[in-house]
Amino acid sequence: MVSVNNNGNSSSLIQVRGLNKTYHRADEQIQVLQGLNLDVDKGDFVAFMGPSGSGKTTLLNLLGGLDVPTAGAISVASDEITHMSSGKLTEWRARHVGFVFQTYNLIPVLTAFQNVELPLLLTRLSKSERRQHVETALSIVGLGNRTRHFPRQLSGGQEQRVAIARAIVSDPTFLLCDEPTGDLDRKSADEIMALIEELVAKHGKTVLMVTHDPVVAARAHTVLHLEKGVLVEGSKSRQSVTAGGVV
Amino acid sequence: MKFAALIFANLFRKKVRLALTLGSFAVALFLFAFLAVVRKAFTGGADLANASRLVTINRVSIIQPIPLSYRDKIARIPGVQAVTHDNWFGGVYQDEKNFFPQFAIDPENQRKVYPEFVVPDDQWNNFLKDRQGAIVGARTAKRFGWKIGDRVPIKTTIWGGGAWEFVIDGIYHGKVAQDDETQFWFQWDYFQERVPDRLKGLIGWYTVMLNSPDQALRVAKAIDTEFANSPYETKTDTESAFAASWVKQFGNIEFLIITIGSVVFFTLLLVTGNTMAISVRERTGELAVLKAIGFKDRSVLFFVLAESLAIALFGGVLGLALAFLAIPVLGNALSGMLPNLILSKPMLATGIGFALLVGAASGLLPGIGAMRLRVVNALRRV
């Protein structure tokens, strides 16, 4: 269940309260997010839409612990991340967040296997355990036979699949996808979205996704719009909409 | 070890650049080894000098002689165990390029004062009995293919001219690899027979063996006091100080070598520092992704440092290996001119340390830059 106006306690997986983000450019202050509230439950699939500069990526960065808010709080599975030190936040990201980027961001000199293995290098898993996890993740994304291929030997859609395998291999609490289909043709984009839907439906993953594409957004359970730093309910939701937010 | 694949993959990312950087290290370390060996060859005499030995020369200069009659007076000074004397012969064997040092020695005391030069007893006894006999260092014997019994003519340029004939009665070896095995010794009596009358009874310098190194200062002072105000005043130093002042005659070799070494060090630092900076800058996005998925700042610093240290180590080992092969060839080419061109284990270890120091220094700044990279900013640039 997704809510954008709750400012009290809840038992949601992700809780955002009064989130503000202001950037300073010379003497100018740019307020990107203004008092944003959000609750996302486990297994939700949320799409954030909005025009360029509306703060979608900033929100994703804050939720992923890549940036710190000017004010407000973010809790994930009861962990308050807003006041964590940089080191703690890095450890937290390794355990809880899987990132999928628009441009895949694979390491070009590593094979698909080695790229997917990267997050597991931070764990205490043995080499054989890591191999098992990587093979499972690559088979989930349908690339079990491409383990030795380098990114340059894969298509865009396949690269993004490897990136998704890297994001899920350590079984994170939730996935953050920043325009995951932005660099893909329609067919590949459909395949990637089908894969993400499968991760949500079959594997119970929680996915928060930023997209410009209404067709892609429509495949999420909930679509939220960011306009001038404020979240507003979307036009499509599987959930019932009540006054004051999407519930 | 689990990060090895990532580090090696990044190392081989730009193969031409890697080869050039390795080449820079290899050339620099080759030069380092060469300079270290040359420096050691010049200063090695001082390092190898026996702390219990003094050298007494004419106060004016080492090329001025002193009387043989001083020997007994020196021997009577308390603390003196043995005294020997030498004359520089300065002869030429076949060609002036075939340089090696020749000395007219005092056979009676030579082995008491220089125990580090080992001659088998039977060879030594033959030498004592043979007026024209000579003992030659193993390197010089090997260089000219001399064997025991060979007759060797050496032309003198100082002592009246003409060729003097010697018979090789023995070959000496040093106790350690660094010992000088290039010398040629012959009997002082034979030398006396052939020098002009005005030079008879004069020796080049005395070498004094003490009972204890602690007595060096006192004995040196006693010797010089003994001959003060005589026509042949003396100057006595420890063998180490004598060797050091000998090297100074060639100019400030140490300063020259250190200056060249420093220039090499800083040039290498700039080259590799620039290479690492470019390498890190090219990978800003990848480093940001690593940090995003949970690699800590210190891990990113470790990756950059590991790369630069690996380049330094491989390049350094390559350069030192080349030097290890080339220096003996050079030593043979310069045989006699610079004794003991030996690339020792401490020099190799210093070379590796030098390479790793440059590697760490060149990777540090780019590594700190990568460590401080803000993920959000870096990802925006991708």
- Could A107 and B9 be called an inter-chain contact, meaning their C-beta atoms sit closer than 8 Å? yes
Task: Give pLDDT, residue B85.
Answer: 96
CATH code for the domain of A175:
3.40.50.300
Rounded to an integer, what distance in angstroms lies between the CA atom of residue A94 and that of residue B291? Answer: 9
d(CA B378, CA A116): 21
- The alpha carbon of residue A90 is apart from the nearest alpha carbon of chain B, in Å, by 5
For residues B246 and B117, the answer to whether their CB atoms sit within 8 Å is no
User: CA-nearest residue of chain B to A168?
Assistant: B293
B28 CA: distance to closest CA in chain A (Å)? 29
Q: How confident is the model at residue A143 (pLDDT cuts 50, 70, 90)?
A: very high
Compute φ and ψ for A15, nearest 5 degrees: -125, 125
Chain A contact present for B1, CB below 8 A: no
Query: What local confidence, expressed as pLDDT, does residue A245 receive?
Result: 35
Is B333 contained in some domain? yes
Q: Which residues 273-292 in chain B show a CB within 8 A of chain A?
A: 285-286, 289-292
Residue A246 predicted with pLDDT over 50:
no
B54, part of any domain: no
Instruction: Give the pLDDT of residue B265.
Output: 86
Q: B297, A101: Cβ pair inside 8 Å?
A: no
Q: Which helix (H) or strand (E) holds B119?
A: none
In this predicted structure, what is the pLDDT of residue A84?
Answer: 92
Whether B66 and B180 share a structural domain: yes
Indicate whether B106 and B176 sit together in one domain: yes
Q: What is the pLDDT of residue A127?
A: 93
- Residue that terminates a domain, selected from B232, B264, B281: B232
Model confidence pLDDT, tens digit, residues B318-344: 999 999 999 888 877 765 566 567 788
**What's the CA gap between B91 and B95, in Å, rounded?**
10
State residue B239's pLDDT score: 87
Neighbours of B281 (CB within 10 A): 12
Answer whether A168's CB lies under 8 Å from A137's CB: yes
* pLDDT winner (highest mean) among B153-167, B212-226, B339-353: B212-226
Q: Answer yes or no: is pLDDT of B71 > 90.
A: yes
Q: Is the pLDDT of residue A196 over 90?
A: yes
| Cβ pair A105:B295 closer than 8 A | no
- The pLDDT tens digits of the residues spanning B341-353 come to 778 888 899 999 9
Q: Read off the pLDDT band of A243 (50, 70, 90).
A: very low
Q: Which residues of B218-232 are buried (b: 16+ CB within 10 A; e: fewer)?
A: ebbebbbebbeeeee
Note whether residue B242 is domain-resident. Answer: no
Task: Name, in order, each residue with C-beta under 8 angstroms of A180's C-beta and a sequence gap of 6 or more.
Answer: A100, A101, A102, A160, A164, A192, A193, A196, A209, A211
> What's the confidence (pLDDT) of residue B339?
59
Residue B80: pLDDT above 80? yes
More confident residue, B1 or B324: B324
pLDDT reading at A247 higher than 70? no
> Are A122 and B13 a contacting pair at CB < 8 A?
no
Strand partners, B209: B53, B82
B151-156 vs B163-174, strand pairing mode: antiparallel
CB burial string B55-86: b at 16+ within 10 A, e below: bbbbbeebeebbebebbeebeebebbbbbbbb
Fill in the amino acid letter for B84. T
Same domain, yes or no: B133 and B35: no
Token reading at B241: 């100080």
Structure tokens at B189: 């009596």
Let me know: does A208 contact A177? Beta carbons within 8 Å: yes
Determine the angle formed by the axes of helices B345-371 and B253-282, rounding to 10 degrees.
Answer: 30
pLDDT tens digit sequence for B243-301: 777 767 666 777 888 888 889 888 988 988 999 999 889 989 999 999 999 999 999 99
pLDDT, tens digit (0-9, with 9 covering 90-100), for B91-111: 999 888 888 999 999 999 999
The pLDDT of residue A207? 96
Number of domains in chain A: 1
Same domain, B69 and B216: yes
pLDDT at A229: 82
The pLDDT mean for chain A works out to: 88
pLDDT at B379: 82
Kindly report which listed range (A109-123, A185-199, B101-115, B174-188) carries the lowest average pLDDT score: B174-188
Smallest Cα–Cα separation from A155: which of A77, B225, A163?
A163
**B313 inside 8 A of chain A by CB:** no
- The C-alpha atoms of residue B132 and residue B110 are separated, in whole angstroms, by 17
Do both B32 and B110 map to the same domain? no
> B174 and B71, same structural domain?
yes
| pLDDT confidence band for B120 (50 / 70 / 90) | very high
Chain A residues with CB-CB distance to B287 below 8 A = none
Query: B362 and B320, same structural domain?
Result: yes
Residue whose structure tokens are 């079984």: A171
Domain of B195 in residue numbering reads as: 60-232
**Based on the structure, what is the number of domains in chain B?**
2
Do residue B83 and residue B199 come from a single domain?
yes
Residues of B with Cβ-Cβ distance to A99 under 8 angstroms:
289, 292-293
Compute the mean pLDDT over every residue in chain B, rounded to the nearest whole number.
89
My answer on whether B270 and B193 are in the same domain is no
| pLDDT value, residue B49 | 66
Which carries the bigger pLDDT value, residue B54 or residue A236? B54
Report the C-alpha gap between B197 and A118 in whole angstroms: 89
Average pLDDT over residues A202-219: 93
Residues B213, B87 share a domain: yes
Question: Cβ–Cβ of A101/B382 closer than 8 Å?
Answer: yes
Same domain? B134 vs B165:
yes
Nearest partner of B106 among B94, B98, B114, judged by Cα: B114
In this structure, are residues B382 and A104 in contact, taking their beta carbons and an 8 Å threshold?
A: no
Question: Domain range for residue A151?
Answer: 2-246
Nearest residue to B6 via CA among A153, A122, A86? A122
Q: Give backbone dihedrals phi and psi of B116, rounded to 5 degrees, phi first.
A: -75, -15
Minimal C-alpha gap between A52 and chain B (Å)? 14
Is the CB of B176 inside 8 Å of chain A's CB atoms?
A: no
Quote the minimal CA–CA distance from A64 to chain B in Å: 9
- pLDDT above 60 (res B183): yes
Both tokens assigned to B26 = 């290899």
In order of A223, B2, B73, B232, the CA distances from B202 in angstroms are: 110, 75, 15, 10
Residue A1 scores a pLDDT above 70: no
Is B11 within a domain? Answer: yes
- The pLDDT of residue B338 is 63
Which of B339, B327, B355, B331 has the alpha carbon at shortest distance from B261?
Answer: B355
Burial of residue A237, with CB atoms counted within 10 A of its CB: 0-12 exposed, 13-18 middle, 19 or more buried: middle
Q: Do residues B26 and B160 share a domain?
A: no
